Structure 1
């Protein structure tokens, strides 16, 4: 009986409501994405606008009759902005363990104001964890957001984890389609991330007995773990359309 009294039913109800809303949002945006593809939109920006506006509904005649709008312009943002701040203060990124895409999106949106928290969430889940969550596909433009976060927050000690995340994403459904919809800023972030990872891997190459680094140049290495990381990174980044050996 004592254990039941310690259960915070109000918090459980809020968590359930968040999960329900996140699932509705995921399905709504997923439907909007396929609708945009069927419409043959002309650019990624137009595609993203359709997805981001998927929750909006056209005004009816009764809404416009007296000139006063009874319905908020962005009801989704109004309903979710305040709770996300308080929840962020109560929980850290390491406490989230999403098992589905809907749960991940719910947790990801909670950290909307903290790029560092989003970065820690990606690193903690790892490439294999993210691949299992997004086995069908990475929806709602998340791939581009992942690249921006990794590029901005990458730490040298997390280089192997970042490569694993990139590899895990490349093994998700419809990955090539998601890459094709990356914006210019997201593609630039992907290139910056790849080159920084290459530099970190090259710096990690150990020296041989003669005191010389075993490398083929500033961005390549052979015969050591650093060289293996470089080759793996090259093959992964080819899937993202990035040639790490090409000039800036």
Structure 2
């Protein structure tokens, strides 16, 4: 009799997990539909561009055979950086020091997003992390795209830059601009993120004006402002 009760309790627990997973799946599809409507409203130029946008979200649909623990894990990661199923190789990744301790410098955009979400959370930590990655490495890992929702976070981290790092910040902005889907990423910045972007360029301009010998940097920032604040 006790065994029967135990089995019943386990079944009830499993049913609750299943109900929760189904609700999370439904929420995902509601959000997915909203993204599609947003694309339509923004008048994406071509179907190929639309497909690029969907790919940029890095979201993986649930399969019929997915286990409950996999479904729950999926719900914790809006960019789903582990969708490829590739295992991380800690021997390949370089390391650097941040205020939080030892963290990996990512070898690709998936590792960047995973580290950014899990361990690099405050503006200061994210700013330091970007500096440690460096503009050249960021240009490499974001060559194809800046993951959906990530560009706004990066701009918010850069806005707290220190004067002595202005050249590095400008180089990072240049590296992000080189992404193949940069314009598409800009289109999905929120109003608040666009305001932060404007604040960043205002601060850059103010710092440059204080330096009477930064004509070349002033010209670069002026061009970047036009690129980032077009939408």
Q: Tell me the TM-score normalized by structure 2.
A: 0.60
- Report whether the alignment pairs 1:159 with 2:166: yes
Of 192, 209, 216 in structure 2, the residue corresponding to residue 202 of structure 1 is 209
SS at match of 2:204: helix
Structure 1's 73 and 98: CA in aligned 2 closer, same or farther, altered over 3 A?
closer
Say whether the 8 Å CA contact 1:163–1:233 is kept in structure 2: yes
1:236 aligns with 2:224: yes
Write the deviation string for residues 26-77 of structure 1: whole angstroms up to 9, x where unpaired.
Answer: xxx9xx989945984547xxx99xx59x568699xxxxxxxxxx88995446
> Does residue 119 in structure 1 map to residue 107 in structure 2?
no
Q: Is the 8 A contact 2:198 2:229 kept in 1?
A: no
Aligned equivalents of 1:170 and 1:33: distance in 2?
26
Matches of 2:123 and 2:110, distance apart in 1: 20
Residue 187 of structure 1: SS of its match in structure 2? helix
Q: Is the 8 A contact 2:108 2:141 kept in 1?
A: yes
Contact 1:96 1:121 in 2 (8 A): no
Query: 5+ unaligned residues in a row in structure 2: which ranges?
Result: 1-27, 43-52, 78-95
Q: For 1:157-196, list aligned pairs within 5 A.
A: 157-196=164-203
Q: Output the aligned Cα RMSD.
A: 3.8
Cα separation, 2, equivalents of 1:182 and 1:78: 22
- Structure 1 CA distance for aligned equivalents of residues 71 and 145 of structure 2: 30
Work out whether 1:108 is the aligned partner of 2:96: no
String of CA shifts for 1:130-160, please: whole Å, max 9, x gaps.
1100111111211111111112x21111111
TM-score w.r.t. the length of structure 1 is 0.56
- CA distance in 2 between partners of 1:105 and 1:143 (Å): 11
8 Å contact from structure 2 (residues 62, 71) kept in 1: no
CA separation of 1:192/1:97 partners in 2, compared to 1, >3 Å: closer, same or farther? same
1:242 deviation in Å?
5.6
What displacement does 1:96 show? 2.2
What is the distance in 1 between the residues matched to 2:70 and 2:111?
26
CA-CA distance at 1:199 after TM superposition: 0.7
